[in-house]
């Protein structure tokens, strides 16, 4: 069976400031670089065959740090691209709530049902992220692979593999450089091993 090590990129300044990032290409900050190095050491305990990343540089850089430790080269997988938050990109939650109060209330109450102003909805992310997952799972049968993505992408993927609808989005915490482990057992069947594991991040920040 294929083992998937799903992780989130390291910290950026907009993570620290709690701003909606989406497609804005924010780099890792110094803490994010350290987090990625700690994650790389954790991943070195697995027999990793390939590392795939979102096209955005915060994910690419995290993937490059991990891949270098593993003696591999990170490969971009477009389906892991972060959600398009549209008009909310760069805003804090408070600013988004002030700009679009009704949409924001619906986002908190039923996140799987809304579309961000001038942007995407979670079902859009689900379609392309699951297509990407299916592609690499078929490519790496009985191997272990790393996917470096984003909080939104990870939560959507985890909802799907857990058999939850997207309104459970906020139930699944995803810290920067946390590790999720699951195994592909067959069509729409997965074994969950770990969720949001951050034991490798002790003392990193």
Number of Cα atoms under 13 Å in the Cβ half of residue 114: 21
Mean pLDDT, range 29-53, rounded to an integer: 98
In degrees, rounded to 5, the angle at the alpha carbon of residue 18 between the alpha carbons of residues 163 and 28 is: 90
Domains in the chain, start-ordered, CATH in brackets? Answer: 2-85+121-201 (3.40.50.1240)
Q: Is the dihedral of CA 83, 191, 69, 135 positive or negative?
A: negative
Q: Give the whole-angstrom CA distance, residue 118 versus residue 68.
A: 37
Q: pLDDT value at position 17?
A: 86
Pair 77, 131: CB distance under 8 Å: no
Q: pLDDT value at position 16?
A: 85
Share of the chain above pLDDT 90, in %: 93
Pair 55, 83: CB distance under 8 Å: no
For the cut 80, the answer to whether the pLDDT of residue 205 exceeds it is: no
The tokens of 98 are what? 């002030």
* DSSP structure string for 173-190: ---TT-EEEEEEEETTEE
pLDDT tens, position by position, 47-90:
999 999 999 999 999 999 999 999 999 999 999 999 999 999 99
Helical segments of 44-121, H only: 57-70, 93-99, 101-109
| Selected residue with higher pLDDT from 17 and 50 | 50
The tokens of 159 are what? 């909802």
Return phi, psi of residue 177, to 5°: 60, 20
- CA 87 to centroid of chain Cα atoms: 21
| Selected residue with higher pLDDT from 205 and 179 | 179
pLDDT tens, position by position, 96-151:
999 999 999 999 999 999 999 999 999 999 999 999 999 999 999 999 999 999 99
Number of Cα atoms under 13 Å in the Cβ half of residue 85: 22
Strands 179-186 and 2-8: antiparallel
pLDDT tens, position by position, 140-195:
999 999 999 999 999 999 999 999 999 999 999 999 999 999 999 988 899 999 99
């Amino acid at each position: 069976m294929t083992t998937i090590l799903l992780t989130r990129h390291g910290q950026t300044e907009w993570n620290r400031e709690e701003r909606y990032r989406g497609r804005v290409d924010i780099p890792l900050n110094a803490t994010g670089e350290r987090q990625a190095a700690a994650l790389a050491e954790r991943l070195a305990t697995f027999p990793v065959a390939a590392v795939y990343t979102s096209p955005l540089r915060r994910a690419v850089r995290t993937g490059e740090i991990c891949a270098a430790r593993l003696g591999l080269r990170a490969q971009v997988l477009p389906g892991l691209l972060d959600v398009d938050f549209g008009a909310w990109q760069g805003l804090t939650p408070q600013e988004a709530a002030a700009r679009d109060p009704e949409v924001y209330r619906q986002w908190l109450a039923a996140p799987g049902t809304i579309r961000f102003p001038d942007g995407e909805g979670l079902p859009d992310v689900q379609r392309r992220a699951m297509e990407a997952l299916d592609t690499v799972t078929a490519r790496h049968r009985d191997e272990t692979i790393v996917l470096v993505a984003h909080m939104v992408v990870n939560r959507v993927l985890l909802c799907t593999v857990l058999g939850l609808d997207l309104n459970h989005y906020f139930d699944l915490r995803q810290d920067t450089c946390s590790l999720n482990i699951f195994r592909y057992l067959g069509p729409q069947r997965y074994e969950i091993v770990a969720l949001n594991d951050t034991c490798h991040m002790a003392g990193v920040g």
